[in-house]
Amino acid sequence: MLRPYSRTMRRLNRQLVLLEVRAGVGVRSMTQAVEITPLRAWTMAIRPKTLPAAMSPVVVGSALALADGVFSLVPALAALVGALLIQIGTNLANDYFDYVKGTDVAGRLGPTRVAQSGLISLRDLRAGIIVTFLLASLVGLYLVSVGGWPILIVGIASLLSAVAYTGGPFPIGYHGLGDLFVFLFFGLAAVCGTYYIQALTITTQATVAAVPIGALTVAILVVNNLRDIETDRQTGKRTLAVIMGTRATRLEYALLLLVAYATPLVLWLARWSPAWILLPWVTLPLALRQVRTLYLTREGPPLNQALAGTANLDLAFSLLFALGLLF
């Protein structure tokens, strides 16, 4: 009896949810309302702007492999596809579990969530999560055939963490552990894993090169959590930002960027790389701009610009860092 009503409500919600490709800050005015197609809704759920964070470690890991003469195209492409699928699955799972747990509420400052807005039903969203992780697992089987049991362990841990970030009895992101896990899986595991499936070994240089990539990806999360700090606090979502407070969270962001820019200098001074490794320093003005925005902004919505800026910084830094590793 409720299904026709639910379908009607979802249809109405699609007509009332606002187009937010550029704004990304939720409902603004009824005159801006547009029809949101199912394809558009799924694109919103996937969150394409977050995907460069999954691509960056694969690019850097593959650049290291190419520099060391062990690059292998098919494993590198498989690692890229697997990373993208895990990122997409994580985004869908976060959308689902944040709504189910009651932390996605009306008035949140970030982009529209498809479960909370009714754009995609919970049943369909669950199906999307399952299909995405199944596809990631199929790619993982190939990678395991190449890299053996170390890749199996990393793959299983990545899938479990993707779900456990906001789901399960002890959601990682709800207990101040999100920053640590993002650094481990989007930095160390992703860069070193990409290098390993091509070289079948891990070098000290690969481990060090993973540090700035992980740090910048965590910085994206820090901006997100700083923006949502008040709503997260009200709904009981204890991110690290909620635990530490606004001032310490801003300091964390600045320190993460400091670590990222210090790493190329360490690689150069240690003579592991020529001066070309300092290419990412070209993006330093962009980094300083994001730090300035974070320290001067006192309201949530403007932080969406810092969030997009940090994502762009992550991508630009990673591409230049990879290029520097090739020389």
Calpha distance 194→202 (Å, rounded): 10
Rounded to 5, what percent of the chain is helix, strand, coil? 75, 0, 20
pLDDT reported for residue 16? 41
Q: What are phi and psi of 119, to 5 degrees?
A: -70, -35
Gap between the terminal Cα atoms of the chain: 66
| Residues recorded for the chain | 327
Residue 200 lies in a domain: yes
Question: What pTM was computed for the model?
Answer: 0.86
Alpha-carbon distance of 10 to 120, in angstroms, equals: 7
190 domain residue, yes or no = yes
Residue 169 is assigned to a structural domain of this protein:
yes
- For residues 24, 26, 30, 33, the Cα torsion angle rounded to the nearest 10 degrees is 50
In a domain, 184, yes or no: yes
20 close to 48: Cβ distance less than 8 angstroms: no
Asked whether the beta carbons of 51 and 87 are under 8 A apart, the reply is yes
Helix (H) or strand (E) holding 118: none
What is the reported pLDDT for 133? 95
Whether 32 is covered by a domain: the verdict is no
Structure tokens at 157: 């841990």
DSSP 187: I
Q: CA angle, corner 73, sides to 55 and 194, nearest 5? A: 45
Beta strands (DSSP E) in 20-78 are none
In the structure encoding, which two tokens stand for residue 269, read together? 């001074």
Give phi and psi for 224, each to the nearest 5.
Answer: -60, -45
Backbone angles phi, psi at 238, to 5 degrees: -90, 75
Q: Which long-range contacts (CB under 8 A, 24 or more apart) does 144-152 make?
A: 146/75, 146/78, 146/197, 147/75, 147/193, 147/196, 147/197, 147/200, 150/196, 151/193, 151/196, 151/197
Say how many domains are in the chain: 1
Q: What six digits make up the tokens of 316?
A: 């630009």
Q: Could you give the CA distance from residue 175 to residue 166 in angstroms, rounded to a whole number?
A: 10
pLDDT of residue 21: 37
* Nearest residue to 98 (alpha-carbon basis) of 163, 23, 180, 189: 163
DSSP type of residue 318: H
**What is the residue-wise DSSP string for 48-71?**
GGGTHHHHHHHHHHHHHHHHTT--
In-domain check, residue 7? no
Give the C-alpha separation, 235 to 244, whole Å.
17
Q: Which domain holds residue 215?
A: 52-326
pLDDT value at residue 304: 83
* Count of C-beta atoms within a 10 Å radius of residue 279: 18
pLDDT value at residue 29:
32
> Is the residue at 68 inside a domain?
yes
Predicted pLDDT of residue 116: 84
- Whole-angstrom Cα distance, residue 248 to residue 96? 29
DSSP 184: I
Q: List the chain pLDDT tens, one digit each, 327 residues.
A: 444 444 544 554 444 444 343 334 443 333 333 578 888 999 999 998 889 889 999 999 999 999 999 999 999 999 999 999 999 999 999 999 988 887 766 556 667 788 888 889 999 999 999 999 999 999 999 999 999 999 999 999 999 988 888 888 888 989 999 999 999 998 999 999 999 999 999 999 999 999 999 999 999 999 999 988 988 888 888 999 999 999 999 999 999 999 999 999 999 998 888 999 999 999 999 999 999 999 887 766 678 888 889 999 999 999 999 999 998
Q: Give the gyration radius of the chain's Cα atoms.
A: 20
3-state secondary structure of 201: coil
On whether residue 8 sits in a domain, the answer given is: no
What is the 8-class DSSP label of residue 198? H
